[in-house]
């Protein structure tokens, strides 16, 4: 069975959501990971626990509380509806915010581990030379954590592509607006349309394998470049 226009819309929406989520989370996670890596405070454990919760909590639990928060009866949802004259729940913006929250640890944890591995010496040396925090991250630290950065981006993208529970809770199943590929696949299986389900599942499988293989290839290439670099 061939894919319908709704299936292609779901695939395109999935790519849009995963790309936007990945770009935004990498940009937000870089300074946050750098700060957490060098932060010495009793509150660090609490912050890291909150950030790590999406890895442990069932997606429906996160989706339920976000759905309440996005409701017009609560502050966030009410503020958004007044400001933009539309509701946050059951919209692309709603599933985007949910994806940012749910995929945050997949982007943050690899970057934080990479910054911690670098140690404080590089940052301290850069500060003595007059580099600002952003200059230190971009010009000093980023070149040394490219494999981790690539891994964080791949994990975030792949996780968003495969997300189901949180998206369904927040966005429902609105074709062309909130229906991503995983939900479209579920619809086909529920309606016993196994031909279309198999086609859609195969596309997602090949797409995910391609992303992972490309990430592995680029990571190995980066490692070889660093290893073969001439000494200063």
Query: Can you state the angle between helices 59-70 and 92-118, rounded to 10 degrees?
Result: 120
**How far apart (Å, rounded) are the C-alpha atoms in residues 101 and 115?**
22
DSSP assigned state of 138: I
Low-confidence ranges of the chain (pLDDT < 70): 1, 119-121, 218-219, 221-232
Structure-token pair, residue 156: 């975030």
pTM for the structure as a whole: 0.86
Class of the 5-225 domain? mainly alpha
Q: Which helix (H) or strand (E) holds 213?
A: helix 194-227
Neighbour-count burial for 22-35, b at 16+ CB within 10 Å, e otherwise? bebbbeebbebbbe
Task: Report pLDDT for 170.
Answer: 93
Spans of all domains in the chain: 5-225
Task: Report pLDDT for 15.
Answer: 94
From residue 152, alpha-carbon distances to 34, 133, 156 in Å are 14, 21, 6
């Amino acid at each position: 069975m061939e894919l319908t226009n709704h299936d292609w819309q779901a695939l395109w929406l999935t790519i849009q959501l995963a790309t936007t989520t990945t770009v935004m989370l990498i940009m937000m996670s870089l300074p946050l990971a750098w700060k957490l890596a060098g932060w010495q405070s009793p509150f660090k454990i609490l912050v890291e626990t909150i950030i790590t919760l999406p890895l442990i909590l069932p997606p429906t639990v996160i989706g339920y509380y976000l759905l309440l928060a996005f409701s017009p009866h609560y502050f966030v949802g009410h503020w958004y509806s007044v400001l933009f004259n539309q509701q946050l729940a059951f919209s692309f913006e709603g599933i985007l915010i949910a994806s940012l929250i749910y995929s945050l640890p997949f982007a943050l944890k690899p970057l934080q581990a990479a910054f911690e591995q670098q140690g404080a010496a590089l940052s301290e040396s850069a500060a003595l030379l007059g580099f600002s925090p952003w200059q230190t991250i971009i010009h000093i630290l980023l070149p040394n954590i490219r494999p981790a950065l690539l891994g964080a981006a791949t994990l975030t993208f792949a996780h968003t592509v495969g997300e189901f529970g949180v998206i369904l809770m927040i966005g429902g199943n609105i074709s062309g607006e909130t229906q991503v590929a995983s939900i479209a696949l579920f619809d086909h299986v529920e309606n016993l349309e196994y031909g279309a389900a198999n086609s859609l599942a195969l596309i997602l499988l090949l797409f995910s394998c391609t992303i992972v293989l490309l990430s592995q290839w680029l990571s190995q290439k980066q490692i070889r470049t660093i290893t073969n670099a001439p000494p200063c």
